[in-house]
Amino acid sequence: MSRSGEVASLSPPMTRQGQFCGVFCPVDGAEGAGLGLDACRGRGRSSGGGTDDRLTETSQPTRKVQIRESRGKEALQNLDHRSDRLLIKGAKIVNDDQSFCADVYMEDGLIKQIGENLIVPGGVKTIDAHGRTLMPGGIDVHTRFQMPDRGMTSADDFYHGTKAALAGGTTMIIDHVVPEPGASLLSSFEQWREWADSKSCCDYSLHMDITEWHRGLQDEMETLVKDHGVNSFLVYLVYKDLFQLTDSQVYEVFSVIRDLGAVAQVHAENGDIVAEEQRRILSQGITGPEGHVLSRPEEVEAEAVNRSVTVANQTNCPLYVTKVMSKSAADVIAQARKRGTVVYGEPISASLGTDGSHYWSKNWAKAAAFVTSPPLSPDPTTPDYLNSLLSCGDLQVTGSAHCPFNTAQRAVGKDDFTLIPEGVNGTEERLALIWDKCVVTGKMDENQFVAVTSTNAAKIFNLYPRKGRVAVGSDADLVLWDPDLTHIISAKSHNSTVEYNIFEGTEVRGGPLVVISQGKIVLEEGTLHVTEGTGRYIPRKPFPDYVYKRIKARSRLAELRGVPRGLYDGPVCDVTVTPKVMTPVSSTKTSPAKQANQANQPSRNLHQSGFSLSGAQVDDNIPRRNTSRVVAPPGGRANITTLG
Amino acid sequence: MAERRENRDIADEHDLPVYLARPGTADQVPRQKYGGLFSSVRDAFDGKSIDFDALSVGQSTPRSARRETGRGARSPASDSCWSSPGVERRAERVAVEKRAERSLEAALERSMETRSRRDKETLQYLEQTSERLLIKGGRIVNDDQSFHADIYMEDGHIKQIGDNLIVPGGVKTVEANGKMVIPGGIDIHTHLQMPYRGTATVDDFGQGTKAALAGGTTMIVDHVIPEPGCSLVEAFDQWRQWADDKSCCDYSLHVDITHWNDSVQQEVDALIKEKGVNSFQVYMAYKDYYQMTNSELYEVFTFLAERGGIAQVHAENGEIIAEEQARMLQMGITGPEGHVLSRPEELEAEAVFRAVTIASQTNCPLYVTRVMSKSAADIISLARKKGNVVFGEPIAASLGTDGTHYWSKNWAKAASFVTSPPLSPDPTTPDYLHTLLSSGDLSVTGSAHCTFSVAQKAIGKDDFTQIPEGVNGVEERMALIWDKAVTTGKMDENMFVAVTSTNAAKILNLYPRKGRIAVGSDADLVIWDTDAVRTVTAKTHNSAAEYNIFEGLELRGAPQVVVCQGKIVLEDGNLHTSSGVGRFIPCSPYPDFAYKRIKARKQLAVLKAVPRGMYDGPVSEYSLSRGGTPSASARSSPTKQPVRNLHHSGFTLSGPSIPEDLPIRPAGRRITVPPGGRSNITSLS
């Protein structure tokens, strides 16, 4: 089991003296923080938690053990107690805030010690990093493994998907639960848990998509947040008549999300316009994949981003825009951030690594492989632009939206691009792509790289510092990164099951040398040792500090007051009651902003009575007036009818 | 074409003094050769009277009668500058011919030299000389240049411009003494006599246009608001009737589309083709009432783009407003401050952004009415930078005051500011909007004049959502902009003319009949006194409302003389208006100002499919129970079964036409057939 020698031989050792001063101070601090770390974790996790304790988190611990026994190498790792103990020597630890050289000792899937000359038990497996970069494992915030679509299922299930993720240096994924409209959120959630628990090779968590909206869903959302560790919900502004919500519904969902302390995610495209454009494009006889991008111009994406930012601002709800695919959408997010909106943007591997010119490929299957929504921008300068915004912090996290379909599945839409199942690959390529396009080119440094691939995601979804940081007490999800590695992405060698890779032929510099997930080595010398079903569900608590500190402060400030005025005692024009049917209130079931001061609420429902308020009832208001407004102003009751 | 005039026009004629009613009614047939879109501009510089009726699509107006005078003087070859000597020569000839034509009249005129100032108005209508007017020594200010010249007007048209004009005797002369003479203002957005829940705004077409004239505005464009479900044409006729009865100045009409279906579409078509309406407003606010969905907006815009109309939007996100209103009321906020609190400026900006997006998709010119906030103005200005054809209209209220008054302790005062979108509580907004107006990012100004009395506003005394919306501003508009933009040095006098008059005329396709001082244009002029200082107050204003939202504002600059339809209507502070003289000015579609670019883009925006071989690989089974994108698939999925069908030939047919110059396609190389022949699609590359 000693492969460290080979690893060590790959590059000359790096001197550590230069980074000595101050380098270990935060490490000591991190050690102290490790105690509090368990408190930050998901529900029901005790501080002394070892492997066994964790396994109870997952739904089927027994099955896992069976699987492990059934496989040769993995079984060995599990049988051998020392295999859970791992020491990485001489690594340059890169967090999002700083880099320093230290050794890392891991046990039971947790980082136990960081520092020099660590005292470790004997028989520990040791990797000599020789000064290579050791980073927190990547977190892919957006995957759609095993996603059902019209009776089909996306080609990569949780096993193949997480395997590909690990191969690329990603040690945690957050998948989307897509309930059928009309289905229960909870049962869909359980369904996804079951799929993932039985197949996932790395830790995972789940976002919940809100595919329809009615009042009853609010309770389910609350249950998910409080009992199931879901703290993010996605709404769709697109897929008209299927998933799409109206602005009013989005407003209500966001209000509920804000109250629950979750993060509102949005798939931002204007579904109404897309539907009209699709009709127009089809009527022009364009049925190939190029119709997909023609019917979804990037403006339509930017418009929806702008709209969701507006709704989020109104509801004081943190917003997370998934799949930022175009320059203009990214610009809208950047501008909103400058204005102070709490909004996060997630470009995906596809938008960072390739462009939409391939939709015009003569090879139908190749063109169809690029179909995703929002589409890749035909503007070839888009990836570069998004990488720049990612580097400067205007975009914060990266996902992959990994949801590939194989060619036979895509061919469902061979005569009508609107039927092509949507989704591209990218979970495996994500880290290397960003490293190649951003770090190698000097757009960002290694710390920012860690931030956008891992740390920011952990912070937004309240996994930090358990995930997204190399620190004592954090999970032992690490990547030993080799910046000198180069390889050419190809469908022949990738771990996904689909025939096409949208990054086909792209040469990327940088790649994971060793990947450690849950304290075990899963990638070494390009060899994957993954075990189906070892992935644990990681519950996430609501009210992530990174997001909600500002939101909370704002909600305190945002109290509105009426103006105390004298009673209007002038003439009132007679109105006919019939014509204005205009209902200013969206619906009776709605108005989620009920948290607003109930005490101050007048006993009489004013907006209900507003309609019956005709001249005949002018004096109705006098006895029932809200007390605060009847108070005479200091200068005596104002005579309202005076002019001036 | 002989029936172009409607019965009501004739009826109106009877209301006028008999000597005013179309002296040359017999000469009705317009010349067909000037039907082209671009002829209007060429003629404008011709030094000739323009036959506007030949350009108008809809019914004619009384002005058509007076065409006989300029006809003889038309010379085909001409240069385009009135300051050239050629123009003067021509002007001389015009005058000579005219004198010959009208020797009899001239003789009559000579005998009427004495006129008393006191009953001038009476005299104007009694004497034909009153139709002739000479403004001497003025500095003519158009949107492009300023120059000194005299202006001679006759029969409501500008006949001559130049120095030492030869004019008939007995002409009334106004000495301008070097003051500015500008084209009369065009208030592109009014709601006069708007019905509201059984009542109507206090300023009807008589009162409202009187106020407009008092402020130097000689034309208004009102909004026709049909009740949802009612006929657009009927509503239009109703408004025509109201306005024809009472209007003191020329007017035109926008029609608001408050609901959308096929019959409305036909009516819109009819309005454009027969009634002389070229601008239609849609609402993105007023949920469950006027509000349209994005899909409807898309359809309306598409249709208007085809027919050459201008799409106007009232831009606010109605859905969020409804939610916010409910929230405010729940919190116990029922006063006018709730109005602005429930309509934050972001919602306006969001809707503007959305409208811009849809307009851009449909390649339709967009006109945003009532730009009230900085952020909305910013969106417009950004969109213009990106190349969208979009015009923004700040109104007098947003340019002159801010929304802090919503918190006034005086309910009636606070309520008088209620309009939608609301005035921004940010006090720097007016200044900002003036800056954008000066830089050209915002194009035109209106007033959205829609006044209600305090008693009417009090309908909403216990619920701000019930307060009727609208503010005054038609009278103050010109002076406000002059004071805030020109005297502060933000814009020059030419830009002032552009934003108050010329741009509006261009958008409405009335240019150069309106919005320019040129030979052949309508005699709607204002002599502007830059030194006058006035204080706006409800005590002296011409509106019938009890409150003026600009109360106490001191404004430099005011109209000294206002000439409307060739008659002096304001002089020495005295208004001489008469109800019913206002004519409906039909607007023709495809205004160059907006549509030249649209047309060019339309030609470019042809999409082509990629010719591909047939996919012959395996196809996955899938259930149709849930369509991926049902809206499209439901009605337009071309094939239901994987059998080869005609739809495939769509690709093969377009195969030969693989032009390299396809605009949308990113790179030509991908279209060309690869060297090894057409690739087999199922092969993995």
- Report the C-alpha gap between B659 and B190 in whole angstroms: 50
Nearest-CB residue to A606 (from B295, B334, B360):
B334
Mean pLDDT, range A74-82, rounded to an integer: 43
pLDDT at residue A121, as a whole number: 85
- Report the C-alpha gap between A389 and A66 in whole angstroms: 46
Asked if B238 has any chain A CB less than 8 Å from its own CB, the reply is no
Torsion angle of the four alpha carbons B600, B604, B605, B610, in this order, in degrees rounded to the nearest 10: 170
pLDDT at residue A567, as a whole number: 79
pLDDT at residue A622, as a whole number: 42
Mean pLDDT, range B139-157, rounded to an integer: 93
**Residue B654 with chain A: CB contacts under 8 Å:** 285
| pLDDT reading at A91 higher than 80 | yes
**Residue A366 with chain B: CB contacts under 8 Å:** 685
Tokens of B205: 């077409």
Q: Report pLDDT digits (tens) over A615-634.
A: 444 444 444 434 444 344 45
Q: Report pLDDT digits (tens) over B350-395.
A: 999 999 999 999 999 999 999 999 999 999 999 999 999 999 999 9
Mean pLDDT, range A326-340, rounded to an integer: 94
Query: Rounded to two decimals, what is the model's pTM?
Result: 0.75
| pLDDT reading at B621 higher than 90 | no
pLDDT at residue A562, as a whole number: 78
Sorting pLDDT into bands at 50, 70 and 90, what band is B273?
very high
* DSSP secondary structure code for residue B8 in this structure: H
| pLDDT reading at B26 higher than 50 | no
| pLDDT reading at A603 higher than 90 | no
Distances (CA, A) of B681 to A364, B616, B657: 6, 8, 21
B636: left (phi over 0), alpha (psi -120 to 50) or beta: alpha
Please tell me the distance in Å from B268's CA to the nearest CA on chain A.
21
Please tell me the distance in Å from B681's CA to the nearest CA on chain A.
5
Nearest-CB residue to B623 (from A151, A357, A576):
A151
Q: Report pLDDT digits (tens) over A202-223.
A: 999 999 999 999 988 999 999 9
Asked if B649 has any chain A CB less than 8 Å from its own CB, the reply is no
Q: Report pLDDT digits (tens) over B469-483.
A: 999 999 999 999 999
Residues 275-314 of B with CB under 8 A from A: 286-290, 293-295, 298-299
Beta carbons of A307 and B317 less than 8 Å apart: yes
Beta carbons of B354 and A306 less than 8 Å apart: yes
Interface test with A, best of B404, B610, B633, B645 (most A CBs within 10 A): B610
Beta carbons of B679 and A363 less than 8 Å apart: yes
Sorting pLDDT into bands at 50, 70 and 90, what band is A322?
very high
| pLDDT reading at A643 higher than 70 | no
pLDDT at residue A408, as a whole number: 92
Please tell me the distance in Å from A177's CA to the nearest CA on chain B.
17
Nearest-CB residue to B618 (from A239, A294, A411):
A411
Instruction: Determine which of A54-68, A173-187, A376-390, B299-313 has the lowest per-residue pLDDT on average.
Output: A54-68
Tell me if residue A411 falls in helix, strand or coil: helix
Asked if B644 has any chain A CB less than 8 Å from its own CB, the reply is no
Mean pLDDT, range B137-165, rounded to an integer: 93
Beta carbons of B681 and A365 less than 8 Å apart: yes
Helix, strand, coil % over all residues of chain A, rounded to 5: 40, 20, 45
Amino acid at B676: G
Amino acid at A156: D
Beta carbons of A357 and B670 less than 8 Å apart: yes
pLDDT at residue B344, as a whole number: 92
- In the predicted model, what is the mean pLDDT of chain A? 80
Q: Report pLDDT digits (tens) over B480-498.
A: 999 999 999 999 999 999 9
**Residue B540 with chain A: CB contacts under 8 Å:** none
Q: Report pLDDT digits (tens) over B631-651.
A: 333 333 333 333 344 444 434
Beta carbons of A277 and B664 less than 8 Å apart: no
β-bridge pairing B132-141 and A110-115: unpaired
Beta carbons of A563 and B631 less than 8 Å apart: no
**Residue B668 with chain A: CB contacts under 8 Å:** none
Q: Report pLDDT digits (tens) over A340-375.
A: 999 999 999 999 999 999 999 999 999 999 999 999
**Angle formed by the axes of helices A327-338 and A298-315, to 10°?**
20
Mean pLDDT, range B488-509, rounded to an integer: 94
- Using an 8 Å Cβ cutoff, are A241 and B628 in contact? no
| pLDDT reading at A459 higher than 50 | yes
Q: Report pLDDT digits (tens) over B425-477.
A: 999 999 999 999 999 999 999 999 999 999 999 999 899 999 999 999 999 99
- Using an 8 Å Cβ cutoff, are A453 and A348 in contact? no
DSSP codes joined into one string, B313-373:
EE---HHHHHHHHHHHHHTT--STHHHHHTS-HHHHHHHHHHHHHHHHHHT--EEEEEE-S
Mean pLDDT, range B152-181, rounded to an integer: 91
- Using an 8 Å Cβ cutoff, are A131 and A540 in contact? no
- In the predicted model, what is the mean pLDDT of chain B? 78
Percent of chain B with pLDDT over 70: 72
Which of these, B603, B302, B310, B294, lies nearest to A283 by C-alpha position?
B302
Sorting pLDDT into bands at 50, 70 and 90, what band is B85?
very low
Mean pLDDT, range B314-328, rounded to an integer: 93
Q: Tell me how many degrees the CA angle B523-B529-B533 measures, rounded to the nearest 5.
A: 140
* Dihedrals phi, psi of A400, to nearest 5 degrees: -125, -20
Asked if B621 has any chain A CB less than 8 Å from its own CB, the reply is yes
Print burial letters for A38-53: b (CB count within 10 Å at least 16), e (below 16): bebbbeebeeebeeee
Tell me if residue A3 falls in helix, strand or coil: coil
- Using an 8 Å Cβ cutoff, are B398 and B345 in contact? no
Mean pLDDT, range B398-422, rounded to an integer: 93
Mean pLDDT, range B316-322, rounded to an integer: 93
Asked if B665 has any chain A CB less than 8 Å from its own CB, the reply is yes
Nearest CA in chain B to A245: B319
Please tell me the distance in Å from B456's CA to the nearest CA on chain A.
5
Q: What's the complex ipTM?
A: 0.73
- Chain A to chain B, count of Cβ pairs less than 8 Å apart? 382
Which of these, A594, A574, A604, A640, lies nearest to B336 by C-alpha position?
A640
Nearest-CB residue to B628 (from A421, A560, A643):
A421
**Residue B546 with chain A: CB contacts under 8 Å:** 643
Q: Which residues contact B360 (CB under 8 A, 6 or more apart)?
A: A299, B383, B388
* DSSP secondary structure code for residue B380 in this structure: H
DSSP codes joined into one string, A251-300:
HHHHHHHHHHT-EEEEE---HHHHHHHHHHHHHTT--SHHHHHHTS-HHH
| pLDDT reading at A580 higher than 70 | no
| pLDDT reading at B63 higher than 80 | no
**Residue A600 with chain B: CB contacts under 8 Å:** 331-332
Amino acid at B62: P
Nearest CA in chain B to A622: B462
- Report the C-alpha gap between B277 and B252 in whole angstroms: 8
Percent of chain A with pLDDT over 90: 67
Please tell me the distance in Å from A612's CA to the nearest CA on chain B.
11
Q: Which residue has the higher pLDDT, A291 or B86?
A: A291
Q: Which residue has the higher pLDDT, B102 or A514?
A: A514
Interface test with A, best of B620, B653, B671, B679 (most A CBs within 10 A): B620
Nearest-CB residue to B674 (from A246, A356, A362):
A362
Q: Which residues contact A241 (CB under 8 A, 6 or more apart)?
A: A275, B630, B631
Beta carbons of A314 and B625 less than 8 Å apart: no
pLDDT at residue B130, as a whole number: 54
Q: Which residue has the higher pLDDT, A303 or B81?
A: A303
Mean pLDDT, range B20-43, rounded to an integer: 41
Q: Report pLDDT digits (tens) over A403-430.
A: 999 999 999 998 999 999 999 999 999 9
Which of these, B103, B97, B91, lies nearest to B152 by C-alpha position?
B91
Percent of chain B with pLDDT over 90: 63
Beta bridge partners of A508: A487
Q: Report pLDDT digits (tens) over B549-583.
A: 999 999 999 999 999 999 999 998 899 999 999 99
Q: Report pLDDT digits (tens) over A149-198.
A: 888 999 999 999 999 999 999 999 999 999 998 899 999 999 999 999 99
**Residue A151 with chain B: CB contacts under 8 Å:** 621-623, 625
Nearest-CB residue to B330 (from A366, A601, A633):
A601
* Dihedrals phi, psi of A528, to nearest 5 degrees: -95, 135
Q: Which residue has the higher pLDDT, B261 or B606?
A: B261
Q: Report pLDDT digits (tens) over B658-685.
A: 344 444 444 433 434 444 444 444 444 4
Asked if B462 has any chain A CB less than 8 Å from its own CB, the reply is yes
pLDDT at residue A479, as a whole number: 95
Instruction: Determine which of A260-274, A298-312, B65-79, B523-537 has the lowest per-residue pLDDT on average.
Output: B65-79
Please tell me the distance in Å from A477's CA to the nearest CA on chain B.
35
Beta carbons of B197 and A411 less than 8 Å apart: no
β-bridge pairing B172-175 and A319-324: unpaired
Beta bridge partners of B190: B222, B449
Rg (CA), chain B: 28
